[in-house]
Chain A
Amino acid sequence: MATEVLMPALSPTMEEGTLAKWLVKEGDEVASGDILAEIETDKATMEFEAVDEGIIGKILIAEGTEGVKVNTPIAVLIEEGESADDVASAPAPAAEAPAAAAPAAAPVAAQPITSEDLSDPEIPEGTEMRSTTVREALRDAMAEEMRADDTVFLMGEEVAEYQGAYKVSQGLLDEFGAKRVIDTPITEHGFAGLATGAAFGGLKPIVEFMTFNFAMQAIDHIINTAAKTRYMSGGQMSCPIVFRGPNGAAARVGAQHSQDYAAWYAQIPGLYVAMPYSATDAKGLMKTAIREQNPVVFLENELLYGQSFDVPVMDDYAIPFGKARIWREGSDVTIVSFGIGMKYALEAADKLAEEGISAEVIDLRTLRPIDYDTVIRSVQKTNRCITVEEGWPVASIGNHITAQIMERAFDYLDAPVINLTGKDVPMPYAANLEKLALVTTAEVVEAAKAVTYR
């Protein structure tokens, strides 16, 4: 049967091209792979190979023709004994390219969880509350989950024999052994990829980055591999993995070691992002993170590791993602924060109370998903909002929260929302400049007064 040779598309964007030169003539026998013609695209001149074998029955487009549309028949290939005339006049088959898809109705944001369904586990009356540091709470959460599931393991630099660069993994090697608490070489890109592969292979890795600054070396695997593979596989592949470690500024370590990645990771569909403030939340969110079937970026803070909070002594205290905690109820202004920003928010709320301003303080706890509902409800009550975070001002979490408030509670606002952030500079080393670069309690107080017109 005669077949038409069609003008090929030789690049993702090519719509037409020039048939520069025929390398065969009518009557020539061709085999699969033989070069038929040279075709000029907008980018280059390409050779065009035969797919089928046969005889060139007729050349339909002369060489030198410009603007030949993709899929136009350019020649006819016949088998022995056939005549090209039988088919030369046949109409060109309509291209079977799929019809352009109508744009899908786009929800504002993918919201896998509604906060209405979520709540912290009940703490039964009489439960012992023990003063615990954030450091211990994280360790306890990992240890409990490792006891419960043999496939959970911890890997990272200095997590085992050194007992953790910040002592978060203290004691884990002794309890679980070197098979499950693994010191890695200094090789973030490599071990992040390796751990992601181990998650595909049926394990539940916890990857400690000594700090998230070093995870910049590994961010390709966090985003391109861990976050996207479920989607790219049509739901076949799961990546249950936790990437954790200290994030944000510590103290006097300069620009390369002082950066808040909250807004970076919060942008990525396929990731969950948790950023606890208290020890209770650190423990409860870490347990949830380890049990998750999805990749979780867990942003800790070095300055908070040593802070103590009362943590309920309970076996199974797992806090759901996507549910904010209201630390303090108030009626005059809503302060939204997370992570170490909560320290400034809560200190400011105390100072504001002394001056007769009642602040409601909300800890987002997770940045993907974000509990928008709790924020909106609060703003509907207080009519004013400020956000507090340590990261940079451009495309900050605060910017995003503000946009949500604009869309959902614009008419409730009595003042513009103010976003308090770190300053738009690399972190300086000098003590006085570093202080200036970070968000402060005084700035939060001042902003609260500004939105309440005091």
Chain B
Amino acid sequence: MAARKSAPKKTAKSNTSKEELLEYYREMLLIRRFEEKSGQLYGMGLIGGFCHLYIGQEAVVVGLEAAAKEGDKRLTSYRDHGHMLACGMDPKGVMAELTGREGGYSRGKGGSMHMFSKEKHFYGGHGIVGAQVPIGTGLAFADKYLDNGGVTFAYFGDGAANQGQVYESFNMASLWQLPVIYVIENNHYAMGTSLQRASSTPDIYTRGEAFGIPGEAVDGMDVMAVKEAGERATAHCRSGKGPYILEMKTYRYRGHSMSDPAKYRTREEVQKVREERDAIEHVRELLLQGKHASEDDLKAIDKEIKAVVNDAAEFSKTSPEPALEELWTDIYA
């Protein structure tokens, strides 16, 4: 069960159809525009506290959702807006939670880092680095116990990968052959600490080897490579072989949170990734070059997405704050 590194794929010769490619474009763009708007609302003081943007990493969630089946579960850390949009949660409900309003997914009581949707099988939004890893392992435990064929995607970052509970989870997941995919979103910076300053080894996907968990590194900026890796991982889990590790090599363009001046990396480094590896630009080029879509088609999509995001922003401003009685509800069932 050796860990392996999949070859970077940069072409459209995969099993992806034109319609699918357009859909990925649309979903990635929705996340990016939504996050830009979140940043804007934060700047206006409409969003409070911590707000962690997903800009740059869009291909990871969009590609993996394309490999998921109805009933599969997912959960992640506090950088969670992209995951929620990708699994089909309503942008209005997400944005209204960011502004702390009644129309938010947690009726304003969770905030950016703590949102859930049982309907979409999204199990949070977790504010404690690494805590979602054993919780996700437990969701997979429940799936196996109930024998329902479900798979859980447990997302965490390169920073969380150094938490002890991750390895406690790896051990139990492998011991009990649980259907969980550990998705390490390696965006290269744990807050302000680069991977090489925090990790004794450069390749996180190999960290399951000691537990017998196969792992692979994936170009997380290539939505089709992500999707294909997701298909390998889900097939592994669904065949009863236990957990799987996917290390997504990705990059976040913005700071760790809104209050991060990002002095730990150069502007040139960010700019270089944006110019050379941007996931959305990549798909845009494939669509245009393959004549799957015209500039006008893409402009129409841009416009449509902008309208969705503006509606969400408008809703998040007009939805009222939660009633004061809400302070005392939802503590106990």
- A395-427 CB mask vs B (1 if < 8 Å, else 0) is 000000000000000000000000000000000
A193 contacts B138, CB within 8 Å? yes
A236 in contact with B106 given A96-B44, A197-B136 (CB within 8 Å): yes
CA distance A107 to B114 in the complex (A): 26
A12 contacts B143, CB within 8 Å? no
B331 contacts A225, CB within 8 Å? no
> Which of B36, B127, B169 is A194 in contact with, Cβ under 8 Å?
B169
B139 contacts A96, CB within 8 Å? no
B131 contacts A225, CB within 8 Å? yes
Q: Which residue of A lies closest to B48 (CB)?
A: A12
A187 in contact with B171 given A51-B40, A201-B138 (CB within 8 Å): yes
Classify chain B's interface size.
35 or more
CA distance A234 to B323 in the complex (A): 13
CA distance A11 to B168 in the complex (A): 35
- B99-142 CB mask vs A (1 if < 8 Å, else 0) is 11100111111100011111000011111100101111111111
Q: Which residue of B lies closest to A97 (CB)?
A: B45
A194 contacts B106, CB within 8 Å? no
B330 contacts A234, CB within 8 Å? yes
CA distance A168 to B139 in the complex (A): 27
A9 in contact with B43 given A51-B37, A187-B172 (CB within 8 Å): yes
B145 contacts A225, CB within 8 Å? no
CA distance A234 to B137 in the complex (A): 23
B191 to chain A, nearest CB (A): 13
A234 contacts B106, CB within 8 Å? yes
B143 contacts A201, CB within 8 Å? yes
A196 close to B (CB within 8 Å) = yes
B332 contacts A32, CB within 8 Å? no
Q: Which residue of A lies closest to B138 (CB)?
A: A197
B293 close to A (CB within 8 Å) = no
Which residues from B are CB-within-8-Å of A10?
A: 43, 258-259
Q: Which residue of A lies closest to B328 (CB)?
A: A110
A293 contacts B333, CB within 8 Å? yes
Which of B5-13, B79-87, B216-224, B260-268 faces chain A? B260-268
A437 close to B (CB within 8 Å) = no
Closest 9 A-B residue pairs measured CB to CB? A197-B138, A190-B168, A193-B134, A201-B142, A8-B43, A293-B333, A11-B259, A197-B135, A234-B106
B residues neighboring A (CB under 8 Å)? 36-37, 39-40, 42-46, 48-50, 73, 99-101, 104-110, 114-118, 123-128, 131, 133-143, 145-146, 164-165, 168-169, 171-172, 175, 253-255, 258-263, 267, 274, 317, 321, 324-325, 327-333
23 A-B contacts, Cβ less than 8 Å apart?
Answer: A9-B44, A9-B45, A45-B261, A70-B45, A98-B99, A112-B332, A153-B145, A189-B164, A190-B168, A190-B171, A193-B169, A194-B141, A200-B135, A201-B138, A201-B140, A203-B145, A225-B128, A225-B135, A230-B333, A231-B331, A232-B114, A234-B108, A269-B331
Query: Besides A190-B134, A236-B117, 19 other CB < 8 A contacts?
Result: A6-B43, A44-B263, A46-B255, A46-B261, A51-B36, A98-B99, A187-B171, A194-B134, A197-B138, A198-B138, A199-B138, A200-B138, A202-B146, A221-B131, A221-B134, A225-B131, A230-B332, A234-B109, A237-B118
